[in-house]
Amino acid sequence: MRVNPIAGALGAEIEGVDLASELDDAVFAAIRRAFLDHLVIFFPGQNLGPAEQKRFALRFAPIYVHRMVEGMAGHPDIIRVVREPEERINWGSEWHMDASFEDCPPLATVLHAQELPPYGSDTMWTNLYLAHDALSDGLKCALSGLRGVHESGSGARYEDKYKGMKGRAVEPKVNVHPVVRTHPETGRKCLYVNESFMTRFEGMSVEESRPLLHYLFAHSVRPEFTCRFRWKPGTLAIWDNRCTQHNAIADYFPNHPALFAARRVMHRITIQGDRPV
Ligand code: SIN
């Protein structure tokens, strides 16, 4: 197995592993090490069905089932992330971590590329350890006592919004998590914020929270903390959702007719995490 970093901040491509086969413990331990070291890892050319993708995800922990989006027929724990041709929005096209509104947000997400436009629709990730470490001591100290409110919004956030995906009308979910989180496996601190779900600081109004949140959201995605990946069909990615954010870039729309007419399909599994501390 070879691990080839793709950027200075995070991300590595893994060669020499066939995820369709039963992985022995030594190979899985090397994958887990690469995942913790690089935060998002990519396995090109993986010929996997839903059952093999699930078997790989289950090596990490049990699967988390999304409360607001229906899974695939026959595989309720896999979401088909679909952008149909000529649809004007795509899922995940803002900086976020997955389901940070849960008591125990997912540990990781496993995304397997199925169909892609001829170019465009890359995904970006940002390293929240680096974002934390680059803050001044004064701001680190101010943030250490703060907790963030993360809100899912209502089921209407996803219901009927995407042509190829089906949302569920569920009650909104709200949770409070520390703004600086200690990673349960590496022991490193990261800046645990994201602009999709975090609405304010606990004990403060939205208006009072806005200036500092605005700064932290922009700081957390500074270019030097990020990587950008160009997908090919068959590539499988797994990212650490505890210390990264990601953004599915919405650049394949009406101003690019060939891309506008293309479908993008990814199979997505999220893995259960623990309560941030
Ligand atoms: C996601 O945000 O979970 C999906 C990212 C992507 O489709 O690239």
User: What is the residue with the minimal CA distance to atom 5 of ligand 1?
Assistant: 248
Q: Domains, the chain, ranges and CATH? A: 61-271 (3.60.130.10)
The Cβ of residue 141 has, within 10 Å, a number of other Cβ atoms equal to: 10
Which residues form the pocket of ligand 1, taking CB atoms under 6 Å from any ligand atom?
81, 91-92, 98, 109, 111, 123, 246, 248, 266, 268
d(CA 269, CA 75): 10
pLDDT digits (tens, 9 = 90+) for 57-70: 999 999 999 888 88
Query: Which residues are bridge partners to 63 per DSSP?
Result: 271
| Residue 246 designated active-site | yes
Listed residue (233, 267, 228) closest to 44, CA to CA: 233
Q: Tokens 């500092």 sit at which residue?
A: 212
Note the pLDDT of residue 156: 66
Least confident of 111-120, 144-153, 158-167: 158-167
Q: How far, in Å, from the CA of 123 to the mean position of ligand 1?
A: 7
Q: Are residues 94 and 196 in contact, defined by beta-carbon separation less than 8 angstroms? A: yes
Task: Render 117-144 in DSSP notation, one character per residue.
Answer: -SS---EEEEEHHHHHHTS-HHHHHHHH
Tell me the per-residue pLDDT of 177-233, one tens digit each, with 9 for 90 and over. Answer: 999 999 999 999 999 999 999 999 999 999 999 999 999 999 999 999 999 999 999
Residues listed for the chain: 277
The Cα 185–Cα 133 span in angstroms is 18
Tell me whether strands 12-15 and 40-43 are parallel, antiparallel or unpaired.
parallel
